[in-house]
Structure 1
Amino acid sequence: MRTFTLQISLLLLLTTGSAFALDEPGQDLPFLGRYPGSIIDSYKTAHYDEATIPLGILGRKGFANSETVEGQVTYIRYKVPEDRSPLEFIRNYRQALQRAGFHILWQCADHGCRNPDADVAATLWRGAPTRYTGGAEIFSFENGRMLSAEYRATDGVRTIVFINDNTLFGHSQDASVYAVQTKPMHSGLVSSDVGQLTSESMAGALIQRGHFAMHLPFDFNQATLRPDAQSTLTALSQLMEQHPSLRVRLEGHTDQVGSAAYNQMLSLNRALAVKSALVARGIVGQRIEVTGFGATRPVAGNNTDEGRAQNRRVEVVDLSPGAIAGLPPANADIAPTTTHAPAMNSAPTPYKAVSITATQHQSLGDLQPPSMLLSN
Structure 2
Amino acid sequence: MPGYKAQPPKVVEFGSYTEGDLFYCQPGKRCTSGDPGFNDEGKLVAEGKVTVQRYSTEKPAGTLAVFRNYENAIREMGGRRLTYTSTHDTTNVFLIDRQGAKVWIVLSNAYDSGYQLTYIEAKPLQQVVKAGQLADAIHKQGFATLYINFDNNKSDVKPEAKPAMEEVVALLKADSVLRLSIEGHTDNVGNAVTNKTLSQARAQSVVKALVASGIDAKRLQAKGFGSEVPVADNRSEEGRAKNRRVELVKLK
The structural deviation recorded for 1:256 is 0.6
**What are the Cα deviations for residues 86-139 of structure 1, in whole angstroms up to 9, with x where unaligned?**
xxxxxxxxxxxxxxxxxxxxxxxxxxxxxxxxxxx64416332379xxx89xxx
Deviations 1:296-329 (A, max 9, x none): 1000001111111000000000003xxxxxxxxx
Q: Deviations over 1:251-287 (max 9, x none)?
A: 1000011010111112111111211110110111121
Give the corresponding residue for 2:74.
127
Q: Secondary structure at the match of 1:128?
A: helix
Where structure 1 has 5 or more consecutive residues not aligned to the other structure, the ranges are 1-29, 32-46, 50-59, 67-120, 137-147, 151-159, 162-179, 321-376
The share of aligned pairs that are identical, in percent, is 32
In 2 relative to 1, CA 63–126 (structure 1 residues): closer, same or farther, beyond 3 Å? Answer: same
Amino acid at match of 1:257: V
> Is the contact between residue 125 and residue 149 of structure 2 (CA under 8 Å) also seen in structure 1?
no
- Would the alpha carbon gap of residues 130 and 256 (structure 1) be closer, same or farther in structure 2, given more than 3 Å must change? closer
CA distance 1:283–1:186, change in 2 (3 Å)? farther
Match for residue 175 of structure 2?
243
Aligned to 1:24: none
Quote the residue 2:222 is aligned against. 290
Q: Distance in 2 between matches of 1:186 and 1:122?
A: 21
Task: Determine the structure 1 residue equivalent to 2:199.
Answer: 267
Query: Are 1:223 and 2:172 matched, yes or no?
Result: no
Q: 1:220 to 1:125 in 2, by over 3 A?
A: farther
- CA deviation map 1:167-197 (0-9, x unaligned): xxxxxxxxxxxxx9x9xx6878467xxx831
Paired with 1:186 and 1:288, the residues of 2 have a C-alpha distance of 36
Paired with 2:84 and 2:240, the residues of 1 have a C-alpha distance of 30
Coordinate RMSD, CA, aligned: 4.0
Unaligned runs of 5+ in 2: 1-33, 36-46, 51-60, 86-92, 95-103, 107-119
Relative to the length of structure 1, the TM-score reads: 0.38
Change in Cα spacing, 1:127 to 1:213, as seen in structure 2 (3 Å) is same
What is the letter of the counterpart of residue 63 of structure 1?
L
Matching residue of 1:8: none
Equivalent position of 1:205 in the other structure: 137
Greater RCO (CA < 8 Å, at least 6 residues apart): 1
Distance in 1 of aligned mates of 2:237 and 2:143: 24
Q: Take 2:201 and 2:229, find their aligned partners in 1: how far apart are those partners?
A: 17
Give the Cα separation in 1 of the matches to 2:125 and 2:219: 34
Show CA shifts across 1:10-49 (max 9, x none): xxxxxxxxxxxxxxxxxxxx99xxxxxxxxxxxxxxx999
Aligned residues: 168
Whole-angstrom distance in 2 between the partners of 1:186 and 1:222: 21
Query: Paired residue for 2:41?
Result: none
Equivalent position to 1:299, from 208, 228, 231: 231
Which has more radius of gyration?
A: 1
Q: For the Cα contact (< 8 Å) 1:248–1:319, is it kept in 2? A: yes
**Shift in Å, 1:227:** 2.6
Moved over 6 A (4+): none
Q: After the TM superposition, which residues 136-175 of structure 1 pair with which residues of structure 2 at under 5 Å, given as runs?
A: none
Separation (CA, whole Å) in 2 of partners of 1:207 and 1:62: 59
Greater mean deviation of Cα atoms: 217-226 or 248-257: 217-226
CA contact (8 A) 2:143 2:248 kept: yes
Q: Distance in 2 between matches of 1:197 and 1:213?
A: 10
8 Å CA contact 1:62–1:122 kept in 2: the answer is no
Using the size of structure 2 for normalisation, the TM-score is: 0.55
**In the aligned structure 2, how far is the partner of 1:186 from the partner of 1:261?**
31
Counterparts in 2 of 1:125 and 1:292: CA distance versus 1, 3 Å: farther
Report what 1:254 is aligned to. Answer: 186
SS in 1 for 2:74: coil
Give the secondary structure class of the aligned counterpart of 1:252.
strand
Aligned to 1:36: none
What secondary structure is seen at the aligned counterpart in 1 of 2:228?
Answer: coil
- Cα pair 1:251 1:291 within 8 Å, conserved: yes
